[in-house]
A and B are shown apart, each in its own frame.
Chain A
Amino acid sequence: AQRVTQPEKLLSVFKGAPVELKCNYSYSGSPELFWYVQYSRQRLQLLLRHISRESIKGFTADLNKGETSFHLKKPFAQEEDSAMYYCALSGVGSARQLTFGSGTQLTVLP
C-alpha cells in the first residue's frame, strides 16, 4: 500500500528564514513524488514534481530513496508563501492515482 506522511500540521517561520516541509512516503516500487499548494481561496495546484528537478518560486525538493523522503525547501521564506502544502505520490499503473499526505499549513510571519 502507498502512504504519504507529513508530520507537521502547522509550521510558522519568519520572513527571510529558511523553511523545510517534511514528507515521508511508503511505496514498494519507484514512485513519482509531487508537492501541491493551495493558497487562500484558490484551488489546489501543482508546485513541483521530482522528475522535472526544477525550482518553482524558489522551492526545491529532492527525492531521497534511502530515507523515503521528499522534503520541500526554500532558503528564504516570503509572506506570499503562506499556504497549505500537500505532498503526494503517484505509483506505477494505468490509473496513476495521487495519494496525498494530510498537509502542512505554512505561515510566514512578517
Chain B
Amino acid sequence: ETGVTQSPTHLIKTRGQQVTLRCSSQSGHNTVSWYQQALGQGPQFIFQYYREEENGRGNFPPRFSGLQFPNYSSELNVNALELDDSALYLCASSSGQVQETQYFGPGTRLLVL
C-alpha cells in the first residue's frame, strides 16, 4: 500500500507568481484535503475534494484553487502569490467514509520572496 505523496518537496517563488502543488492519494482513497501550515501554527483547512468535486472550503481567497483527477490525485493552485503564502502545504487523503481517518503527506514547503 502506497502512502500519500506530494511534490515538489520545496520550492521558491516570487510575489505575484503562480504555483501548482501536487498530491497523490493513498491507494483506495477518493477524498483529498489540503491544509496550509504557517510557521509555528497548526494546519489550516483550505479545501477538500471528493470524487473530483470540491466538497468544502475553508477561509481562503479564490486565488487558491484545486483539482482532483479521475485517479483521485489532486493539485493545489495558488495565483498572485503573496509573501504570507509562505508555508508548508499538506495534503491528506481519506476513504470518504463516515468517521474516516485522514492520512497526511510529507508536505511541500513554499517560500515566497
Which residues from chain A sit less than 8 Å from chain B, CB to CB?
A: 4, 6, 9, 32, 43-46, 49, 51, 86, 88, 93-103
Question: Do A97 and B106 form a contact, CB below 8 Å, given A44-B43, A51-B99?
Answer: no
Q: CB-nearest residue of chain A relative to B40?
A: A102
Asked whether A98 lies within 8 Å of B99 as measured between CB atoms, the reply is: no
User: What is the CA–CA distance of A99 and B35 in the complex, to the nearest angstrom?
Assistant: 10
Asked whether B45 lies within 8 Å of A43 as measured between CB atoms, the reply is: no
Which residues from chain B sit less than 8 Å from chain A, CB to CB?
A: 4, 33, 35, 40-45, 48, 50, 55-58, 90, 92, 99-107
Most chain A beta-carbon contacts within 10 A, residue among B42, B44, B57: B42
Q: CB-nearest residue of chain A relative to B38?
A: A102
Q: CB-nearest residue of chain A relative to B44?
A: A100
Asked whether A100 lies within 8 Å of B99 as measured between CB atoms, the reply is: no
Asked whether A103 lies within 8 Å of B42 as measured between CB atoms, the reply is: yes
Asked whether B45 lies within 8 Å of A94 as measured between CB atoms, the reply is: no
Asked whether B58 lies within 8 Å of A45 as measured between CB atoms, the reply is: no
User: What is the CA–CA distance of A4 and B43 in the complex, to the nearest angstrom?
Assistant: 12
Question: Do A98 and B45 form a contact, CB below 8 Å, given A46-B101, A49-B101?
Answer: yes
Candidates A32, A45, A46, A97; contact of B45 at CB < 8 Å: A97
Q: CB-nearest residue of chain B relative to A100?
A: B42
User: What is the CA–CA distance of A43 and B89 in the complex, to the nearest angstrom?
Assistant: 12
User: What is the CA–CA distance of A43 and B26 in the complex, to the nearest angstrom?
Assistant: 14
27 A-B contacts, Cβ less than 8 Å apart?
Answer: A43-B4, A43-B105, A43-B106, A45-B103, A51-B99, A86-B43, A88-B42, A93-B56, A94-B56, A95-B33, A95-B48, A95-B56, A95-B57, A96-B56, A96-B100, A97-B33, A97-B48, A97-B58, A98-B33, A98-B35, A98-B45, A98-B92, A100-B42, A100-B43, A102-B40, A102-B42, A103-B41
